[in-house]
């Protein structure tokens, strides 16, 4: 009955309001804060109408309203003020800081809004403005350094490349460790389709993650659910945390058009340093001093010629008086160069001149509209980006629509539709592959090459002109193509067309009970094709891969909320059910034996029979879940949740798994009263989360091959399946403390967590003599424990100036507690060359790089052999983990009148990576360090001692009879031994300190143009400076070539980049 009465009251009120709108007038006024300082940007709405405005920079406003109407003034961090319009035309408002600003409402699992103070776990939100301030092209990358406990690494130089995201460390050994991404309730697929070879640095293109499709400008906020208690309701795939993204929606009472235009420039930042004293040639490691020139007799004349067939730089010392025939002197089609010797000098345009400034142009427009009953937002965005390597391009277009309407008092509907096209041309290949150009720049190349001259890469009749010709009289490529041929002829395309969205309804039975029904959909097709042109060093080819992904979630919930005991006890509860259906299919096809017709790229152009591979997969998870939250008197809160999943990927007998969570908090400041203490809360929680696995892990199968001499051959798959898999289980404990002081001028959020994942579903690498290279088992326990600190301060606040400071810090200790019986080490991936591997080792942190080490004496000196070369241990050792010790971010924002500025410093300490470029750049005499201190002429005595090394049967050693090393070896020997010697010399610390973001903004006063509500111009920079590198040739983040567990391998990466630009935002 009470509901009915309420409804009636509303109706009567509305009637009165409608009756009295006759006498409109202009109401003006000034809005100030509690200290009398004018507040700009306060939203003012005439209640019951769509009429609204904002205060200008001086806190002034003007609005049409009639006497009797009510104005509401809203502003973030201030209590909402409502004032009735009376007879006066001036209505000033003073707002008060909301004493409980921490009483903010946050979005929690399943999109349910809760008061932050009631939560028993850590969440950290980042606003859309913070995410877009420095215009990162991938919305998720913008989180880097912003959130305690979220570690992001991204190889910035790859156009739209992969991002590795970890929340609170690594929980699974070989399965997914990336968080779930949820956009407005839609679980958004973030697959990465990079080949295993690309991920381990042995070559390929980085096609990035599917999460790249999110348009950063549509994001209102991101909220990171870090631990089990926060994420448990999302079920099995939230075991690694959840990034909840809420997009912008239409606001009640305002129509707005926002136009955003920006330009971003990108240039390489940390590049390998190249020597500029010697050119191409083979050299001889057994002697000191560089070699001379080969000679060729052409048309009766004898010329000095370069050793083109050798892709190394151990050649003659540069000498401007020596004229030689360079690579481009053999083609009569280019008369100015033909048989025309040029000086032997360092080039004007060296290797690094291949890079250009990439440009990204972003244009977006958003329309929002809303009233009390409905709202909508439509946005369009287009970004066109060119990469730092020539002829590379990425375009993204997105359309986002969302709307909600109250159809009746009881029934609400909402819907959202997102459409995105991510369309790339020729994303650059990196790693140890001829598909890319890095290999001939830093691995195997010649330092005298003038890259400007290489641009003439083709003869008029279309033949490739290559510096690495077989011989003076043989123009065919020996090992490598001309880099400009590679970039211009051997190109690729990829295109992802994606739709995602949701429809939902909300029916309110009464004040206490409502039901929600939702359907979430995410589907895309992703097409990749790659070309190798006729005339390349590699066999001409064309391949095409088509993938179709679809996920549908059907969800129903019934909520019961009630306050009892004089409103002292609040109950929020719901039960729900979800069905998730995933389907994925891939059709890959490639030509064989070359292409028949040059420059025609179609599978039908295959010389031999083309290969076609089909892969389809389906997965279903049914779930039932529920939650009860109790709150007492704004002081004590307690939540219990439970969820049961039934997964199609597990054996029937083990496919049902239940997991609960408990969490609670106490708001101590309700009883601890002190002037300096604004807020204090302790919280704690426990959760279990189960995980299933990928489809088809239960039964062994045969793999079909291309037809051979009349049969279709089959072979046993090299991975052994397991019919008795059980779900993986993760247990999380978490406690935290939140405090605020001095009216929120200083606040602190501390979290300690301890997570143990057990029964890990693991693709265990086994001795191949078992008949398989790996087997799927439930084994082991992995522990992550750590602390997260978030400190916010506003050290200075005056009338015109404010300074905000945020420090976030996260330290995660990870240890593999156990594996399967008798197995101490699990190989996650093999890095290219020399048997160096990435492992999980019992008793150690996840992600150990294992390889041979230097031999050290007891005093810690490196031991050299009788020839003065570094020794190598017989056994492989743990050379360190790819996972850092800690990450932290310092963020500073300043505002002064219409100006704002900020910068973010992102620090990573610890972690290792292995560099293949360091191996081959030294091997081939390209890197600067191969020519320092005149070592090519004089040789070098390695730092170390001589000694007698004795090995026992297990390969352990002792060193005796140590003495001074006086043996001189050639620089080339030193360089070659980066390949032939131990692996430790190519493993480096992944420490960095980065100036991650710099922003500068100015709100342009726009009083003189009526139509414009606000205008803001900003300048920004990203990754501008890097300090603290172990090896100055590499940014440690380039060792990320995929977003999976294979990390820490720099295999010939595109150098990291810095970006900077300008952005203009206009609101109408």
| Site for another protein, residues 898 to 937, rule: CB under 8 A | none
Residue 798, φ and ψ in degrees, nearest 5: -125, -175
State the residue for tokens 């003076």: 472
Instruction: Please give the structure tokens belonging to residue 557.
Output: 């919930």
Contact between 844 and another protein by CB under 8 A: the answer reads: no
Instruction: Please give the structure tokens belonging to residue 68.
Output: 């009797």
What is the H or E stretch that residue 343 is in? Answer: strand 342-344
Contact between 647 and another protein by CB under 8 A: the answer reads: yes
Q: Which of 86, 82, 61 is nearest to 71 (CA)?
A: 82
Contact between 564 and another protein by CB under 8 A: the answer reads: no
Contact between 309 and another protein by CB under 8 A: the answer reads: yes
Among 19, 565, 674, 712, binds another protein (CB under 8 A): 712
Supply the minimum distance, in Å, between the C-beta of residue 896 and another protein: 55
Q: Which of 271, 352, 359, 158 is nearest to 1059 (CA)?
A: 359
Contact between 286 and another protein by CB under 8 A: the answer reads: yes
Beta strand 180-183 pairing with 1049-1050? unpaired
| For another protein, the closer CB: 536 or 665 | 536
Of 224-232, 237-245, 306-314, 383-391: span binding another protein (CB under 8 A):
306-314
| For another protein, the closer CB: 210 or 766 | 766
Of 153-161, 290-298, 424-432, 673-681: span binding another protein (CB under 8 A):
290-298
Query: Using CA atoms, how far apart are residues 168 and 122, in angstroms rounded to an integer?
Result: 12
Instruction: Please give the structure tokens belonging to residue 755.
Output: 């997570």
Angle (CA) 171 176 177, round 5°: 40
Supply the minimum distance, in Å, between the C-beta of residue 460 and another protein: 23
x/- contact string, 848-867, with another protein (CB under 8 A)?
--x-x------------x--
Handedness of CA 864, 870, 876, 882 (dihedral sign): positive
What is the H or E stretch that residue 934 is in? Answer: none
Contact between 659 and another protein by CB under 8 A: the answer reads: no
In the chain, helix, strand, coil percent, each to 5? Answer: 10, 50, 40
Using CB under 8 A as the binding rule, the residues of this chain from 458 to 487 that contact another protein are 470-471, 473-474, 479
Contact between 825 and another protein by CB under 8 A: the answer reads: yes
Among 7, 77, 835, 843, binds another protein (CB under 8 A): 835
Among 672, 703, 796, 1004, binds another protein (CB under 8 A): 703
Residue 597 carries which DSSP code? S
Of 225-233, 646-654, 750-758, 791-799: span binding another protein (CB under 8 A):
646-654
Query: Using CA atoms, how far apart are residues 212 and 214, in angstroms rounded to an integer?
Result: 6
x/- contact string, 57-96, with another protein (CB under 8 A)?
----------------------------------------
Q: Which of 670, 711, 678, 717 is nearest to 698 (CA)?
A: 717
| For another protein, the closer CB: 154 or 486 | 486
At a CB cut-off of 8 Å and minimum separation 6, what does 157 contact?
A: 268, 387, 388, 1038, 1053, 1054, 1055, 1056, 1057
Residue 609 in contact with residue 706, Cβ under 8 Å?
Answer: yes
Query: Using CA atoms, how far apart are residues 204 and 126, in angstroms rounded to an integer?
Result: 34
Contact between 607 and another protein by CB under 8 A: the answer reads: yes
Supply the minimum distance, in Å, between the C-beta of residue 521 and another protein: 19
Contact between 706 and another protein by CB under 8 A: the answer reads: yes
Using CB under 8 A as the binding rule, the residues of this chain from 112 to 131 that contact another protein are none
Supply the minimum distance, in Å, between the C-beta of residue 355 and another protein: 28
Using CB under 8 A as the binding rule, the residues of this chain from 614 to 633 that contact another protein are 614-620, 622-624
Of 48-56, 286-294, 489-497, 892-900: span binding another protein (CB under 8 A):
286-294
Supply the minimum distance, in Å, between the C-beta of residue 676 and another protein: 47
Among 221, 426, 570, 720, binds another protein (CB under 8 A): 720
| For another protein, the closer CB: 213 or 435 | 435
State the residue for tokens 């522990």: 783
| For another protein, the closer CB: 753 or 854 | 854
Q: What is the 3-state secondary structure (H, E, C) of 201-218?
A: CCCEECCCEHHHHCCHHH
x/- contact string, 769-808, with another protein (CB under 8 A)?
xxxxx-x---------------------------------
| Total residue count of the chain as it appears in this document | 1068
Among 100, 138, 537, 1023, binds another protein (CB under 8 A): 537
Residue 278 carries which DSSP code? B
Strands (E), 920-1045: 945-951, 957-964, 987-989, 992-1004, 1014-1027
Q: What number of helices (H) and strands (E) belong to the chain? A: 10, 61
Query: Using CA atoms, how far apart are residues 920 and 431, in angstroms rounded to an integer?
Result: 12
What is the H or E stretch that residue 44 is in? Answer: strand 43-46
Residue 171 in contact with residue 753, Cβ under 8 Å?
Answer: no
Supply the minimum distance, in Å, between the C-beta of residue 752 and another protein: 34
Among 50, 611, 758, 892, binds another protein (CB under 8 A): 611
Supply the minimum distance, in Å, between the C-beta of residue 750 and another protein: 38
Instruction: Please give the structure tokens belonging to residue 856.
Output: 């050290």
Of 150-158, 216-224, 649-657, 963-971: span binding another protein (CB under 8 A):
649-657
Using CB under 8 A as the binding rule, the residues of this chain from 498 to 527 that contact another protein are 509-510, 513, 515
Contact between 292 and another protein by CB under 8 A: the answer reads: yes
| For another protein, the closer CB: 341 or 695 | 695
| For another protein, the closer CB: 20 or 700 | 700
Supply the minimum distance, in Å, between the C-beta of residue 309 and another protein: 5
b (16+ CB within 10 A) / e for 934-958: ebbeebbbbebbbbebeeeeeeebe
Of 48-56, 106-114, 610-618, 674-682: span binding another protein (CB under 8 A):
610-618
Q: Which of 638, 643, 656, 653 is nearest to 692 (CA)?
A: 656
x/- contact string, 575-594, with another protein (CB under 8 A)?
xxx-x------------xxx
CA 40 to chain centre: 35
Size of the residue set binding another protein (CB under 8 A): 114
Three-state secondary-structure class, residue 958: strand
Contact between 321 and another protein by CB under 8 A: the answer reads: no
x/- contact string, 750-769, with another protein (CB under 8 A)?
--------------xxxxxx
Among 57, 752, 805, 833, binds another protein (CB under 8 A): 833
Contact between 409 and another protein by CB under 8 A: the answer reads: no
Using CB under 8 A as the binding rule, the residues of this chain from 179 to 238 that contact another protein are none
Contact between 969 and another protein by CB under 8 A: the answer reads: no
Residue 58 in contact with residue 38, Cβ under 8 Å?
Answer: yes
Contact between 715 and another protein by CB under 8 A: the answer reads: yes
Contact between 6 and another protein by CB under 8 A: the answer reads: no
Residue 1029 in contact with residue 1036, Cβ under 8 Å?
Answer: yes
CA 566 to chain centre: 49
Residue 322 in contact with residue 291, Cβ under 8 Å?
Answer: no
Among 47, 717, 1024, 1064, binds another protein (CB under 8 A): 717
Q: What is the 3-state secondary structure (H, E, C) of 783-839?
A: EEEEEEEEEEEEEEECCCEEEEEEEEEEEEEEEEEECCCCCCEEEEEECCCCCCEEE
Contact between 724 and another protein by CB under 8 A: the answer reads: no
Residue 938, φ and ψ in degrees, nearest 5: -95, -15
Contact between 695 and another protein by CB under 8 A: the answer reads: yes
Instruction: Please give the structure tokens belonging to residue 697.
Output: 């892990």
Supply the minimum distance, in Å, between the C-beta of residue 910 and another protein: 23
| For another protein, the closer CB: 579 or 743 | 579
């Amino acid at each position: 009955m009470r509901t009915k009465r309420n409804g009636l009251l509303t109706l009567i009120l509305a009637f009165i309001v409608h009756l009295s709108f006759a006498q409109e007038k202009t109401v003006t006024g000034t809005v100030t804060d509690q200290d009398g300082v004018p507040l700009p940007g306060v939203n003012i709405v005439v209640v019951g109408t769509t009429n609204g405005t904002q205060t200008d920079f001086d806190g002034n406003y003007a609005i049409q309203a009639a006497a009797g109407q009510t104005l509401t003034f809203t502003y973030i961090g201030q209590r909402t003020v409502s004032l009735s319009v009376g007879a006066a035309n001036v209505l000033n408002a003073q707002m008060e800081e909301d004493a409980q600003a921490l009483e903010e409402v946050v979005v929690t699992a399943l999109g349910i809004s809760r008061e932050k103070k009631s939560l028993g776990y850590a969440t950290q939100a980042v606003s859309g403005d913070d995410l877009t301030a420095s215009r990162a092209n991938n919305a998720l990358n913008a989180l880097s350094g912003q959130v305690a406990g979220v570690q992001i690494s991204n190889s910035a130089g790859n156009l739209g490349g992969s991002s590795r995201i970890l929340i609170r460390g690594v929980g699974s050994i070989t399965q997914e460790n990336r968080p779930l991404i949820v956009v407005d309730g839609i679980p958004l697929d973030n697959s990465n389709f990079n080949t295993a070879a690309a991920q381990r640095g042995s070559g390929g293109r980085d096609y990035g993650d599917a999460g790249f499709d999110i348009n950063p400008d549509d994001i209102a906020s991101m909220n990171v659910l870090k631990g089990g208690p926060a994420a448990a309701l999302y079920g099995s795939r939230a075991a690694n945390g959840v990034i909840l993204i809420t997009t912008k929606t239409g606001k009640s009472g305002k129509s707005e058009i926002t136009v955003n235009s920006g330009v971003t420039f990108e240039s390489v930042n940390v590049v390998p340093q190249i020597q500029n004293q010697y050119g191409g040639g083979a050299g001889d490691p057994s002697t000191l001093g560089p070699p001379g020139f080969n000679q060729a007799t052409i048309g009766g004349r004898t010329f000095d010629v370069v050793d083109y067939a050798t892709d190394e730089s151990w050649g003659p010392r540069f000498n401007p008086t020596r004229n030689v025939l360079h690579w481009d002197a053999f083609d009569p089609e280019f008369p100015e160069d033909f048989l025309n010797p040029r000086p032997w000098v360092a080039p004007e345009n060296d290797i690094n001149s291949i890079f250009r400034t990439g440009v990204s142009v972003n244009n977006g427009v958003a329309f929002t509209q809303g009233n009390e009953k409905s709202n909508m937002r439509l946005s369009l965005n287009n970004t066109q980006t060119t990469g730092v390597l020539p002829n590379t391009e990425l375009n993204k277009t997105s359309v986002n629509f969302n709307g909600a309407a109250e159809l009746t008092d009881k029934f609400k509907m909402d819907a959202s539709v997102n459409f995105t096209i991510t369309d790339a041309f020729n994303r650059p290949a990196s790693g140890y592959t001829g598909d890319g150009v890095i290999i001939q720049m830093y691995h195997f190349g010649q330092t005298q090459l003038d890259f400007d001259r290489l641009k003439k890469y083709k003869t008029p009749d279309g033949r490739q002109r290559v510096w690495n010709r077989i011989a003076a009289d043989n123009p065919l490529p020996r090992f490598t193509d001309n880099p400009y041929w590679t970039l211009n002829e051997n190109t690729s395309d990829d295109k992802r067309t994606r739709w995602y969205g949701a429809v939902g309804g909300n029916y309110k039975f009464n004040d206490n009970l409502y039901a929600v029904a939702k359907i979430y959909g995410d589907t895309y097709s992703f097409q990749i094709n790659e070309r190798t042109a006729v005339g390349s060093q590699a066999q001409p080819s064309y391949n095409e891969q088509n993938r179709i992904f679809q996920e549908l979630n059907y969800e129903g919930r019934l909520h019961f909320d009630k306050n009892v005991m004089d409103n002292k006890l609040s109950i929020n509860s719901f039960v729900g059910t979800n069905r998730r259906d995933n389907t994925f299919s891939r059709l890959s096809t490639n030509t064989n034996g070359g292409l028949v017709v040059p420059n025609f790229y179609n599978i039908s152009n295959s010389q031999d029979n083309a290969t076609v591979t089909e892969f389809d997969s389906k997965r279903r998870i049914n779930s039932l879940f529920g939650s009860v939250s109790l709150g007492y008197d704004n002081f004590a809160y307690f939540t219990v949740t439970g969820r049961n999943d039934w997964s199609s990927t597990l054996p029937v007998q083990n496919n049902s798994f239940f997991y609960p969570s408990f969490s609670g908090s106490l708001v101590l400041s309700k009883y601890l009263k002190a002037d300096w203490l604004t807020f204090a809360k302790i919280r704690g929680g426990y959760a279990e989360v189960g995980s299933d696995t990928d489809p088809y892990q239960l039964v062994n199968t045969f793999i079909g091959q291309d037809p051979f001499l009349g049969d279709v051959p089959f072979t046993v798959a090299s991975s052994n399946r397991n019919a008795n898999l059980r779900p993986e289980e993760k247990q999380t404990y978490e406690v935290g403390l939140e405090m605020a002081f001095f009216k929120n001028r200083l606040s602190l959020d501390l979290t300690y967590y301890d997570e143990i994942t057990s029964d890990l579903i693991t693709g265990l690498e086994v001795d191949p003599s078992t008949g398989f290279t790996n087997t799927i088992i439930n084994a082991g326990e992995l522990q992550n424990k750590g602390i997260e600190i978030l400190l916010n301060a506003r050290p200075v606040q005056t009338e015109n100036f404010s300074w905000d400071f945020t420090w976030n810090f996260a330290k995660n200790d990870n240890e593999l507690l156990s594996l399967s019986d008798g197995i101490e080490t699990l190989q996650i991936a093999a890095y290219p060359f020399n048997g160096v591997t990435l492992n999980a080792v019992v008793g150690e942190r996840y992600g150990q790089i294992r390889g041979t080490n230097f031999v050290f004496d007891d005093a810690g000196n490196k031991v050299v052999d009788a020839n003065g070369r570094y020794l190598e241990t017989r056994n492989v050792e743990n050379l360190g983990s790819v996972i850092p010790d800690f990450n932290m971010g310092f963020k500073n924002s300043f505002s002064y009148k219409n100006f704002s500025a900020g910068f973010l410093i992102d620090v990573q300490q610890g972690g290792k990576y292995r560099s293949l470029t360091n191996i081959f750049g030294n091997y081939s005499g390209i890197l600067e360090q191969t020519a320092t201190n005149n070592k090519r002429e004089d040789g070098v005595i390695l730092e170390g001692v001589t000694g007698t090394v004795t090995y026992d049967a297990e390969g352990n050693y002792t060193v005796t009879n140590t003495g001074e090393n006086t043996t001189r070896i050639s620089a080339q020997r030193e360089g070659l031994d980066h390949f032939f010697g131990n692996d430790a010399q190519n493993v480096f610390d992944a420490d960095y300190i980065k100036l991650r973001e710099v922003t500068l903004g100015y709100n342009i006063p726009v009083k003189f143009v009526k139509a414009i509500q606000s205008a803001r111009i900003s300048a920004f920079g990203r990754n501008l400076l890097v300090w603290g590198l172990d090896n100055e040739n590499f940014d440690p983040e380039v060792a990320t070539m995929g977003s999976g567990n294979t990390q820490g391998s720099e295999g010939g990466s595109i150098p990291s980049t810095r970006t900077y630009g300008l952005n203009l935002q206009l609101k109408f």
